A and B are shown apart, each in its own frame.
Chain A
Amino acid sequence: MLKQEEGSQAVAHAVAMCRPEVICAYPISPQTHIVEGLSDRVRRGDLSPCEFVSVESEFAAMSVAIGASAAGARAYTATASQGLLYMAEALYNASGLGLPIVMTVANRAIGAPINIWNDHSDSMSQRDSGWIQLYAESNQEALDLHVQAFKLAEELSLPVMVCVDGFILTHAFERVDLPAQEQVDAFLPAFEPRQMLDPADPVTIGAMVGPEAYFEVKYLMHAKQLDALDRIPRIASEFEEAFGRSSGGLVRGYRTEDAETIVVALGSVLGTIEDVVDELREQGVKIGALGIKCFRPYPLDEVRAALARAGRVIVLEKAWAIGVGGIVGQNVRLALSGLPVSVHDVIAGLGGRPITKRSLRALFADALADRLGPLSFLDLKRDVVERELERQTAGGRPGPHAENILKELGVVAARSH
C-alpha cells in the first residue's frame, strides 16, 4: 500500500508487521516517533500479543530485550545517540549471548556538546559491538530493512541494528510502499530460538568463560558475521522476489561501471551524492557512488570489487575517529590494500550540519583537480577553529572549546565572570 508517511511511522508499521512480542522503549530523540507508533498499536490491540515495556533507561531497554529474547520472544527496541552509548554494555552482552534482537538506531550525534541532530557518531561507536549494522538510504529502505533484519537476526541468532538517519529520515514524509501483514508473514517465519529459557528443558545461559574458551566464543561470533555476508544478499533477493523492490544487500553501486572517481557513503546522504553524480555525469565526468548498506559485517570483497577499477575514492562519512580520521575510510583502505587507488576521507555533516549539493560540487571539483588531501572536513568553519586555536596558543586558560566557539558565533552571549 502506497502512502505518504513519516519515516518513523513507516518503520513502526514495518516493525509491527514483524509481530514483535516484546517492545521496550525509552524516549530519546529522534527515535521517539517509532515507539510511539508501536505503543499506539499495542494499546489499541492491533499488535497482539505484544508487551510494550516502558523502561527507565536504554540500558534497561536492551536488558529487557535480552531477557525477552532469551525467553523465546521476538524482541525489539529503538534508540539513538546517548541512549545507544548508555546501553553499550548490554549491546555487547546481547551479541555475545547470540540473541536475535532487532533495534532501530535513529542516528544522532553524541555529546558533549549535547546535540540532537543527525550524524553517525552513535552507531559508528558501536560498530565492533558484535551487532550486524544495516544503514538505510531512504524511508522505504528503512522500512524494508526492518523486515529483513528480523529474518537475518533469527537465522543467525545475532542481533541486528538498523541505522536510520535521525530527522533526515525519521521525521521526513515520503511516499512509501507499506507491506501488508500477509506479505510479511509469508516472508518472515515464526521465531525459533536457538536457545531458550524453558522449564521443560532447562539450560544455563551466560556462563563465565575463561582463557580456555573465550577466544573461541569470540571467533565463532566472527564466523557468524562472515556467514551473514552470504545471507544478507540472499535475504535481499528473497525480499525483492516477495515484495517486488530492491532493498538492502551489502553494497549498492551507482553509475560505477566506468567510474574513475567513486564516492563512498552510508545512509541518506547517498541521495544527495547521487544527484551531484548525475550532474557531473552530464558534464562527462566519470564519477559514481557506492553505498555501503551493511557496515558490520564489513563486505570487504564487495567493496574491493566495486572500487578496484576506480583511481580515486572519496569516502564521505558522518563520523570520525578523532585523532585519526575517517572510520569508513579506514575500512575502505583495508578493502583496497595493494591496489593503486587513492582514498580521500571527508568528514561531513557532523551534529546535523547540512551536506548541500553546493558543498559536494565544490568537494568533488577539488577531488577531480587532485586538490583533496587524505583527510578533509566538509564545510568546517576554519576561521572559527583557527581563532580558537590561536587563543590557546596565546596562553592563559582557554576554557571549553565549545563554549568559546558558540560565543564566537554569537550563540551564547558573553558573560562577565
Chain B
Amino acid sequence: MSSKPFAITLDVGSSLANKTGSWRTERAVYVDRMPPCNHACPAGENIQGWLYEAEEGGDGYERAWRRLVEDNPFPAIMGRVCYHPCESACNRGQLDEAVGIHSVERFLGDEAIRRGWRLERAAEPSGKRVLVVGAGPSGLSAAYHLARLGHDVTIHESGPMAGGMMRFGIPRYRLPRDVLDAEVQRILDLGVRLELDKKVTDVESAMREGGFDAAFLAVGAHLSKRAYIPAGESAHVLDAVSLLRSMEEGEPPRLGRRVAVYGGGNTAMDVARTARRLGAEEAVVVYRRTRERMPAHDFEVEEAEEEGVLMRWLSTIKEAGDGRIVVERMQLDESGFPQPTGELEELEADSVVLALGQDTDLSLLDGVSGIEVEDGVVKVGPDMMTGHEGIFAGGDMVPDERTVTVGVGHGKRAARHIDGWLRAAPYDPGPRPELASFDMLNTWYYADAPRTEQPMLEAARRQGTFDEVVAGLDDANALFEARRCLSCGNCFSCDNCYGVCPDNAVLKLGEPGERYAIDLDYCKGCGICVAECPSGAIRMEPETI
C-alpha cells in the first residue's frame, strides 16, 4: 500500500473509522408493541405470536398450536364459538378485511385433534391442591393452567357432563360435541380429576373435606330469567337454558309448528335456529328494541335469517296461550328506551321460549365471610380473588361479559394468580406494552389479499340438520389466512430495516426470528427504518446527552 499514491488512493472500507453515530439526535429502538388482536382477546392469547408460527405452514402449525395453548386450551372450540373481538380490532380491517383469526385458530385446533398433539405438564408438582367448582369454560381453563403450573386439580361439576355452557348453551351445529370432548379430554389427560354430578353446596366445607389449598369457583349462570307473561293454561312457555340443555340430555321437547323466541341475545338466536332444526316451520324472534340495539352478534342474526328465522323488532309479548301470542308494538323514546304504544297484534305461536338472560346460583357461598355480591354476581379483584382469601371466582358468576372466551380468560388469569398466591409470589403480568395502532404500520409492504371466507353449509341443508354450519379451512387456505396477519407492533423478520438503512447501521443478528440491532456507531438517526418498518416494531427515541 505504501507504494500507492499518497492521499489519492485510499484503502477500501476505511471510513469505518468515522463513527457517524455522533450526528444522531434520535435513535431507533426495536420494540414489541401490543397487537390490537392480542389486546382485544378476552383469553389473552398471543394471536400475533401464533399466527407468526402458522405463517410458515408445515411444522409451523404445531408450533403455532403450542404457542396458542399457552393461553387457551380450546383452539378448536374457540375457533368456532368465540365472537372474535380480535377480528373487530384487527388493523387489517382498515386495509381490506380483518384477518380470519378464528378460522386459523379452528384449523389449528382441528389439526391438533386430528394429529393427536398432546400437552405436557410444564412445571414440577407443587404439592398444592386446588378445587375448581364447575367444568365450564372458565373452570376447565383454570384447571388446565393450574395443572400445567404443577398443581393438583380436582373439578367438581354438578352436571352429568363437562363443558358447561359450551355443551348446554351452544347448539351442536355451532360446536360439534366430538370437538368439545376432545379438547376437554386433553385437559383431563394432564391429570386433572373431574368429578361429575357433584354439586358443591358449601364451598368452605368442600375445601376442608378435600384438603384443598385454594378454590376457583366457576359455576356459571344457568338460571333463566323469567318475565311475567299472562298465559293461558294451554300456553307452552319454556326457557332457553332448559331447552338447550334438553338438547344434550334426554328427549328434545316438542315445540310445535310455530315457535316464538322472546329476547334479543345470542341465546335467542341459538334457540330460534335450534327450533328450526327441530322442525318448526316458523321461528320468530320477538325483541323489544331495534336490530341495531340487539345484543346478538350480527353474524348470528344473519345466519339465523338465512335459515328462515323471522325477526319482530320493537315488540313485547303481552300474552300467550291457545296457539297464539299477543304482541305490543314499542317505540324508542329519546334516550333509546322502548316505550309501549298500545298497538296490539296477535301472532300464531305453538310455544314461547324465553331467552331473556340467566342468573347465577350463588348458594354455595352462603355464609362465606368476605364475599360481596352485587347484581347477582360475585365481586372479585383484578387477581380474580373474591373477598375471601383463597377463594377465586370467574366466568359468568362474576361481573363481566358472559362469553366462553371471557370465561376462559378468567380461568387463565385466576390460575396464574392462584399459583402466585399459593407460592406466596404474587403474579405480576407487568405493564402492557403500547398498543400497535394502525397509524404505526406501513401497510405498503403487505401484499393485497382479501380474506378467505370459510365455506358455509348451504342454508337449505341447515334447517334439518345439526351438522356444523361453518366448515373449516383447509391447509392452503389456513396458510393464506395466517399470512394475511400484519404482525402489528412485532418484528416478523422481513429484513426491511436491514435493507433500508442508508448507513448500514442495522445489524442482522442471524436467521429469521433472531432479529436485528441498531449499530449506534453509525446510526445517524434518520428514522427511515422506523418509517419503513411494516409492522411498527421500531420507535425513535430522543438521545439524552
- Chain B residues with CB under 8 Å of A194's CB are 3-5
Measured between alpha carbons, how far is A213 from B7 in the docked complex, in Å?
A: 7
Q: Which of B3, B6, B11, B12 contacts A220 (CB 8 A)?
A: B6
- Tell me if B9 counts as interface (CB < 8 A to partner A): yes
Chain A 210-244: CB-based contact to B (< 8 A → 1; otherwise 0): 00011011001000000000000000000000000
Contact between chains at A203 and B10 (CB < 8 Å): yes
Tell me the chain B residues, 1-47 only, with Cβ under 8 Å from chain A: 3-12
- Chain B residues with CB under 8 Å of A204's CB are 9-12
Contact between chains at B12 and A98 (CB < 8 Å): no
- Chain A residues with CB under 8 Å of B7's CB are 207, 209, 213-214, 216-217
Measured between alpha carbons, how far is A269 from B313 in the docked complex, in Å?
A: 118
Report how many residues on chain A are interfacial, defined by Cβ distance under 8 Å: 18
Measured between alpha carbons, how far is A284 from B79 in the docked complex, in Å?
A: 123
Contact between chains at B10 and A157 (CB < 8 Å): no
Measured between alpha carbons, how far is A96 from B4 in the docked complex, in Å?
A: 13
Contact between chains at A97 and B8 (CB < 8 Å): yes
Q: Which of B3, B4, B7 has the most CB of A within 10 A?
A: B7
Measured between alpha carbons, how far is A207 from B7 in the docked complex, in Å?
A: 7
Contact between chains at A98 and B3 (CB < 8 Å): no
- Tell me if A195 counts as interface (CB < 8 A to partner B): yes
Contact between chains at A203 and B11 (CB < 8 Å): yes
Tell me the chain A residues, 142-184 only, with Cβ under 8 Å from chain B: 157
- Tell me if A112 counts as interface (CB < 8 A to partner B): no
- Chain A residues with CB under 8 Å of B8's CB are 96-98, 195, 205-207, 209, 217
Measured between alpha carbons, how far is A48 from B11 in the docked complex, in Å?
A: 33
Question: For the side of the interface on B, what is the size category?
Answer: 10 to 19
Tell me the chain A residues, 310-361 only, with Cβ under 8 Å from chain B: none
Measured between alpha carbons, how far is A162 from B12 in the docked complex, in Å?
A: 35
Q: Which of B6, B9, B11 has the most CB of A within 10 A?
A: B9
- Tell me if A113 counts as interface (CB < 8 A to partner B): no
- Chain A residues with CB under 8 Å of B12's CB are 202-204
A292 to chain B, nearest CB (A): 28
Contact between chains at A195 and B4 (CB < 8 Å): yes
Contact between chains at B3 and A217 (CB < 8 Å): no
- Chain B residues with CB under 8 Å of A96's CB are 8
With contact pairs A204-B11, A204-B12 given, residues A195 and B5 touching in the complex (Cβ less than 8 Å): yes
Contact between chains at A97 and B6 (CB < 8 Å): no
Contact between chains at B11 and A98 (CB < 8 Å): no
Contact between chains at A195 and B6 (CB < 8 Å): no
Q: Which of A205, A213, A216, A220 contacts B9 (CB 8 A)?
A: A205
B180 to chain A, nearest CB (A): 67
Chain A 62-100: CB-based contact to B (< 8 A → 1; otherwise 0): 000000000000000000000000000000000011100
In the complex, what residue of chain A is closest to B12 when comparing beta carbons?
A: A202
Chain B 80-114: CB-based contact to A (< 8 A → 1; otherwise 0): 00000000000000000000000000000000000
Measured between alpha carbons, how far is A209 from B10 in the docked complex, in Å?
A: 11
Measured between alpha carbons, how far is A391 from B6 in the docked complex, in Å?
A: 57
In the complex, what residue of chain B is closest to A205 when comparing beta carbons?
A: B9
Measured between alpha carbons, how far is A216 from B11 in the docked complex, in Å?
A: 18
Cβ contacts A to B, 9 pairs, < 8 Å: A97-B5, A98-B5, A98-B8, A194-B5, A203-B11, A213-B6, A217-B6, A220-B5, A220-B6
Beyond known contacts A194-B3, A217-B8: 11 more, CB 8 A cutoff: A98-B5, A195-B9, A203-B4, A204-B10, A204-B11, A206-B8, A209-B7, A213-B6, A213-B7, A216-B7, A217-B6
The 3 closest A-B pairs by CB, nearest first: A204-B10, A213-B7, A202-B12
